Amino acid sequence: MLQTDRKKFLPISKQDLAERGWDACDIVLVTGDAYVDHPSYGAAIIGRVLEDAGYKVGIIAQPDWKTAEDFLALGRPRLFFGITAGNLDSMVSHYTASKKPRRTDDYSPGGRPGLRPNRATIVYANKIKELFPGVPVVIGGVEASLRRLSHFDYWTEDVRRSILLDAKADILVYGMGESQVREIARRLYDGEDVKKLKDIRGTAILRSHSEGFEGAVPLPSFEETSTDKDKFNEAFKLAYLEGDPVRGKPVIQKHGTRFVIQEPPALPLTTAEIDHFYGLPFTREWHPVYEKAGGVPGFETVRFSITGHRGCAGECNFCSLFAHQGRMIQSRSKESILEEVRTLARKPRFKGTITDIGGPTANLYGATCEQWEHSGACRTKQCMMPVKCKSLKFGYEKSIELWKEVLAVPKVKHLFIQSGLRYDLLVEKESDAYLEALCKSHVSGQLKVAPEHASDAALRMMNKPPLEVYERFAGRFKAMNRKAGKEQYLVNYFISAHPGCADGDARKLAAYLSAKHMHPEQVQDFMPLPMTLSTCMYYTGKHPMTGERVVTAKTYKERQAQREWIQPKQKITFAQRITKRR
Residue ranges and CATH numbers for the domains of the chain are 3-262 (3.40.50.2300), 446-454+473-582 (3.30.750)
pLDDT digits (tens, 9 = 90+) for 460-472: 999 999 999 999 9
Q: Is the pLDDT of residue 572 over 50?
A: no
pLDDT > 60? residue 577: no
Please write the tens of the pLDDT for every residue from 118-163: 999 999 999 999 999 999 999 999 999 999 999 999 999 999 999 9
pLDDT value of position 403 = 98
Cα torsion 350, 351, 357, 360: sign:
negative
- For residue 158, with 0-12 CB atoms within 10 Å meaning exposed, 13-18 middle and 19 or more buried, which class applies? exposed
Cα separation, 472 vs 18, whole angstroms: 62
- Span 176-229, pLDDT tens digits: 999 999 999 999 999 999 999 999 999 999 999 999 898 999 999 999 999 999
Distances (CA, A) of 195 to 51, 136, 294, 316: 24, 9, 43, 37
581: pLDDT strictly greater than 90: no
**pLDDT, tens only, 279-299:** 999 999 999 999 999 999 999
Give the per-residue pLDDT at 503.
Answer: 85
Predicted pLDDT at 574 = 36
Helices (H), 485-532: 503-515
Structure confidence at residue 575 as a pLDDT band (50, 70, 90): very low
More confident residue, 253 or 378: 253
- Give the C-alpha separation, 230 to 536, whole Å: 10
564: closest CA among 517, 527, 525, 515?
Answer: 525
Please say whether the dihedral angle defined by the alpha carbons of residues 111, 114, 120 and 123, taken in this order, is positive or negative. Answer: negative
> Cis link prior to 386 (omega < 30° from 0)?
yes
pLDDT score of 4: 42
Residue 291 confidence (pLDDT): 94
Number of Cβ within a 10 Å radius of residue 460: 18
Q: How far is CA 391 from CA 223, 327, 370, 376, 388, in A?
A: 41, 14, 7, 12, 8
Alpha carbons 121 and 90: distance in angstroms, whole number: 8
Cβ–Cβ < 8 Å for 530, 501: no
pLDDT per position as a tens digit, 153-191 = 999 999 999 999 999 999 999 999 999 999 999 999 999
Rounded mean pLDDT, 319-348: 93
The DSSP output letter for 100 is P
* Percent of the chain predicted with pLDDT > 70: 97
- pLDDT for 3 beyond 80: no
Distances (CA, A) of 308 to 54, 275, 283, 450: 26, 10, 19, 20
- The C-alpha R_g of the chain, in whole angstroms, comes to 24
DSSP annotation string for 161-219 = --HHHHHT-SEEE-SS-HHHHHHHHHHHHTT--GGG----TTEEEEES--TT-TTSEEE
Closest CA to 318 of 202, 461, 515: 461
Q: Give 315-332 pLDDT, tens digit per residue.
A: 999 988 877 888 999 999
User: What per-residue confidence (pLDDT) applies to 64?
Assistant: 97
Q: What is the mean pLDDT of residues 396-403?
A: 97
Q: What is the pLDDT of the chain when averaged over all its residues? A: 93
Number of other residues whose CB lies within 10 A of the CB of residue 423? 24
Q: Beta strand pairing status for 353-354 and 414-415?
A: parallel
pLDDT above 80 (res 231) = yes
pLDDT grade for 522, boundaries at 50, 70 and 90: confident
Say yes or no to pLDDT of 523 above 90: no
Q: What percent of the chain has pLDDT over 90?
A: 86
pLDDT at 32 over 90: yes
* Beta-sheet strands, E only, within 453-511: 489-496
Q: Which of 67, 69, 66, 77 is nearest to 11 (CA)?
A: 77
Which among 480, 478, 366 has a CA at the least distance from the CA of 432?
480
Query: Would you place residue 569 in the very low, low, confident or very high pLDDT band (cuts 50, 70, 90)?
Result: low
Is the Cα torsion angle 87, 90, 93, 97 positive or negative in sign?
A: negative
**CA distance to 200, 217, 244, 262, 487, per residue, from 254 (Å):** 20, 12, 22, 11, 58
Q: How far apart are CA 8 and CA 22, in angstroms?
A: 15
Which residue, among 557, 555, 552, 526, has the nearest Cα to 539 in the 3D structure? Answer: 552
Q: Beta partners for 447?
A: 490
| Mode of pairing for the β-strands spanning 217-219 and 251-255 | parallel
328 touches 372 (CB < 8 A): yes
- Contact of 143 with 83, CB cutoff 8 Å: no
CA-CA distance, 451 to 370, in Å (whole number)? 29
Alpha-carbon gap, residue 274 to 278, rounded angstroms? 6
